[in-house]
Amino acid sequence: MAEVATAAFDAALLDLDLPGVDGFALARQLRAQGFTRPLIAITARADADAEPDALAAGFDGFVRKPVTGAMLAELLEDCCAPAR
């Protein structure tokens, strides 16, 4: 979390399920601290609620594993593109 306060990021990729880390809670915490850049959820979850739950937690994008380079590039382009 300290890195977010001291460095500039174009986007953040967060896994929803890592040992000791809940990506949903981390996204909410980042948003509460004023992180405005795109947050992208990455997960191996197969349940139908994963994507809407991620978006409700403050994520801007969502992708299921396995993630290809093309999938990630498209998602980053969509999430990081300037507003039109």
39-82 pLDDT, tens digit per residue, is: 999 999 999 999 999 999 999 999 999 999 999 999 989 888 77
Q: Band of the pLDDT at 4, cuts 50, 70, 90?
A: low
What lies within 8 Å, CB to CB, of 76 at 6+ separation is: 11, 38, 40, 61
The pair of structure tokens assigned to 66 is 């396995």
- Report how far residue 25's alpha carbon sits from residue 41's, in angstroms, rounded to the nearest whole number: 12
- Select from 3.40.50.970, 3.30.420.40, 3.40.50.720, 3.40.50.2300 the CATH code of 2-80: 3.40.50.2300
* pLDDT band for position 3 (cuts 50, 70, 90): low
Q: E-assigned strands of the chain?
A: 12-15, 17-18, 21-22, 39-43, 61-64
pTM (two decimals): 0.85
Confidence label for 84 from pLDDT (cuts 50, 70 and 90): very low
**Spans of all domains in the chain:** 2-80
SS3 9: coil
